[in-house]
Amino acid sequence: MQLYLFNIFFFFFFLCLSVSISTVSGLNSDRVALLSLSKHWTSVSASISSRPQGGSFRHLQTLDLSVNKFSGKIPKELASCNLLEYLDLFVNGFSGEIPESLFAILALAYVNMGINMLNGSILGNVGNLSELLQLSLYQNQFS
Mean pLDDT in residue range 18-41: 46
Please say if the pLDDT value at position 6 is more than 50. no
Do residues 57 and 35 make contact, with C-beta atoms less than 8 angstroms apart?
yes
Name, of 19-23, 46-50, 118-122, the range with top average pLDDT: 118-122
Strand ranges for 2-61 from DSSP E: 34-36, 46-47
**pLDDT at residue 113, as a whole number:** 97
Interval 64-108: pLDDT, tens? 999 999 999 999 888 889 999 999 999 999 999 999 999 999 999
